[in-house]
Amino acid sequence: MHTLPSNELALGPVSKRKPSTAINLSLFLPGLGQVYCGALGRGLLHLCALTALLVVALVFLAAQSVPPKNILITVAILSVIPTAYSTWDARRMALASREDYRLKDYNRISVYVALIFLTMPIITGLGFSVRENFLHIFTMTGSSMSPTFDEGDRIFVRKDSYRDRQPEHNDLVAFLNPANRRQTWVKRVIALPGDVLEIKEGIVHLNGMAIKEAVGVHLDKTNLPPITIPDHHCYVLGDNRADSKDSRHIGPVPMIALVGNVLSWR
């Protein structure tokens, strides 16, 4: 019976690296193709570099006044370019590999799967961090903000907008309904702390003067006696006044309930 010398067994069996496999692994997870080609350190460097780049870019962009659409485009570009380079590098390494390449201890399916599962918490944590601290995407329900937002519209909410400042008049805000904190509502800020608000036949008066409503706001015939907005609160109304539950029903909204500033896809 033919047996391999003990040193052959220790070195591992011979298996030339396939460019197609290196490409597919790199496309699935940058750096995995390098690991497949026998460069564990190089592969981990590719993976860590891409993750660090995305983290730094997201934190920087989210901290600036950058439109959400531009943030998504930038992140997509930053993901595609390193992934393309990692794929090209893995293919080049596979083509340059020798016919007598001997498998390393980590050239196993179980190791590749483990690397993928170890990376998933990092990617998930990054996405969760962005969602909780910077950007959140909501889908509109109902017609209370029509025609500004219609039912089914997807909107961005900048969750860091009011951490160090209060909203301004006419800001579109998302907030937790004080009566049911499981509900997130979207309305327009009409009055701020200290403002005297009155509504006459649907016309909003602020500090004795009728305000200029935002384009597209649908008025109704609401009447509201003068009220002074308390500290740390704001008064919000829907743009479709006849079909909106807002501060006329739940009262001024505590600033602490604000989720963030609402931005459209545009």
Strands 224-228, 196-200: parallel, antiparallel or unpaired by DSSP?
antiparallel
For residue 193, what are its two tokens?
A: 């702390």
Q: Which of 146, 159, 161, 187 is catalytic?
A: 187
Q: Closest by alpha carbon to 134, among 156, 150, 112?
A: 156
Per-residue burial over 246-266, b = 16 or more CB atoms within 10 Å of its CB, e = otherwise? bbbeeebbebebbbbbbbeee
Angle between helix 19-28 and helix 68-96 axes, rounded to 10 deg:
160
Which residues are CB-neighbours of 255 under 8 A, at least 6 positions away? 162, 166, 167, 232, 233, 234
Residue 69 designated active-site: no
Torsion of CA 171, 176, 182, 185, to 10 degrees: -30
Q: Which of 144, 146, 244, 247 is catalytic?
A: 144
Beta strands in the chain (DSSP E): 135-139, 154-158, 172-177, 180-191, 196-200, 203-206, 209-210, 224-228, 233-237, 253-254, 258-263
Active site residues: 144, 187
